[in-house]
């Protein structure tokens, strides 16, 4: 079928068959019997060489759990041009490295007037990358093909303005296809409110993803599931009662109530130990950081599936911009996952590409 398609298109257009996809906009694609592996190893190596950090000592995690960055930290000013260049390079790397998304977003807040401490935080991310060059996302076949999201928040995490951070990650039964880490626009007065605002943002993303999947001939029969580790936030979304805890919250955030009432999404509670979005809201210790990576499909190429590749085994832990190019890579991730798990999609859509 594929040969017939290529033959037909070759007759109409001037085309060159480059064989199996291996490289796409800086994204490396490795296809084998285990599935499809996406990474940016070459780009990461070039980035390290560009800033003379290819031989640096590797860091275990991208962020120090005991360090909170702020605008005025008392240290000297850093080279702003160098700082912006390093952060910009790391930002592109987040397309296949969700494990550094939060840390890159945090250092991006200080592009205007960076200090030595801020630059040190950026270099720590670089050191972490140097020790995890082989990591990427492994897409494998799954039995379930349902849209599922996880949402979390870090209440008052920003020292400068005390705003919270929203984090979310979505998968189609197994491996992450899209993720987000973003500082909230308003100050939340409680952890419940911060979680509520984060859940609303995730709900909007879920609606868009469901529409996208429908356009790709992968209509979701089941409602999107959103998992949150705050029972209070879930209660606020399901109970429209106007009271002192919610009357000050901006109207836009109550959009999630409508979605729940109309049964367009379902909200579920999950314990903190099973919260996949933790990686996008706060700095984690080494054990939990690698465990969270494994949960969303990150691993070394060829290591997925064995107990030795599970950080829970290795570290003794038991469960507990977006630019145009970025949008293309995200869509590519979705299509890769769909084609891997839904072979009929290929036959349905080949004629429209």
Q: Is residue 338 part of a domain?
A: no
Residues 251 and 150 in one domain: yes
Residues 206 and 113 in one domain: no
Residues 93 and 181 in one domain: no
pLDDT at site 315:
36
Distance from C-alpha of 250 to C-alpha of 199, rounded to nearest angstrom: 14
pLDDT for residue 325 is more than 60 = no
Instruction: Please tell me what DSSP assigns to residue 179.
Output: E
Domain closes at, from 136, 158, 174: 136
Give the model confidence (pLDDT) of 60-74 as tens digits: 999 999 999 999 999
pLDDT at site 328:
60
Percent of the chain clearing pLDDT 90 (strictly above)? 64
Give the model confidence (pLDDT) of 206-241 as tens digits: 999 999 999 988 888 899 999 999 999 999 998 876
Domain that holds residue 67: 2-136
- pLDDT tier at 342 (50, 70, 90 boundaries)? low
pLDDT for residue 150 is more than 90 = yes
Give the model confidence (pLDDT) of 251-295 as tens digits: 777 899 999 999 999 999 999 888 999 999 999 999 999 999 999
For residues 236 and 183, the answer to whether their CB atoms sit within 8 Å is no
CA distances from 32 to 20, 37, 135, 336 (A): 11, 8, 16, 13
- Nearest CA to 324 out of 31, 92, 41, 129 is that of 92
Domain closes at, from 113, 136, 159: 136
- Crossing angle for the helix pair 80-93 and 41-50, nearest 10 degrees? 170
């Amino acid at each position: 079928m594929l040969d017939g398609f290529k033959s037909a298109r070759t007759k109409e257009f001037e085309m060159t068959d480059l064989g199996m996809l291996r490289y796409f906009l800086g994204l490396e694609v490795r296809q084998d019997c285990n599935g499809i592996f996406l990474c940016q190893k070459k780009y990461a190596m070039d980035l390290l060489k560009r800033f003379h950090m290819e031989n640096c000592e590797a860091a275990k995690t991208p962020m120090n759990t005991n360090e909170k960055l702020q605008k005025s930290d008392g240290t000297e000013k850093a080279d702003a041009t160098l700082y912006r260049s390093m952060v910009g390079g790391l930002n592109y790397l987040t397309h296949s490295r969700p494990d550094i998304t939060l840390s890159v977003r945090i250092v991006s807040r200080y592009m205007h007037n960076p200090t030595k401490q801020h630059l040190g935080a950026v270099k720590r991310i670089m050191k972490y990358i140097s020790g995890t060059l082989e990591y990427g996302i492994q897409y494998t076949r799954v039995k379930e093909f349902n849209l599922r999201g996880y949402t979390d928040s870090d209440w008052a995490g920003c020292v400068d303005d005390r705003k919270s951070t929203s984090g979310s990650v979505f998968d189609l039964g197994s491996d992450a296809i899209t993720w987000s880490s973003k500082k909230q626009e308003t100050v939340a007065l409680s952890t419940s409110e911060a979680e509520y605002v984060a859940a609303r943002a995730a709900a909007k993303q879920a609606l868009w993803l469901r529409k996208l999947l429908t356009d790709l001939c992968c209509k979701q029969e089941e409602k999107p599931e959103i998992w949150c580790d705050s029972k209070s936030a879930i209660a606020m979304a399901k109970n429209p009662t106007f009271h002192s805890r919610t009357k000050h919250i901006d109207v836009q955030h109550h959009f999630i109530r409508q979605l729940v009432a109309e049964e367009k999404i379902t909200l579920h509670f999950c314990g903190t130990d099973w919260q996949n979005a933790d990686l996008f809201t706060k700095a984690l210790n080494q054990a939990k950081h690698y465990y969270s990576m494994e949960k969303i499909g990150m691993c070394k190429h060829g290591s997925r599936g064995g107990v030795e590749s599970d950080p829970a085994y290795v570290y003794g832990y038991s469960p507990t911009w977006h630019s145009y190019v970025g949008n293309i890579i995200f869509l590519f991730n979705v299509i890769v996952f769909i084609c891997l798990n839904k072979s009929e999609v290929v036959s349905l859509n080949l004629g429209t590409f």
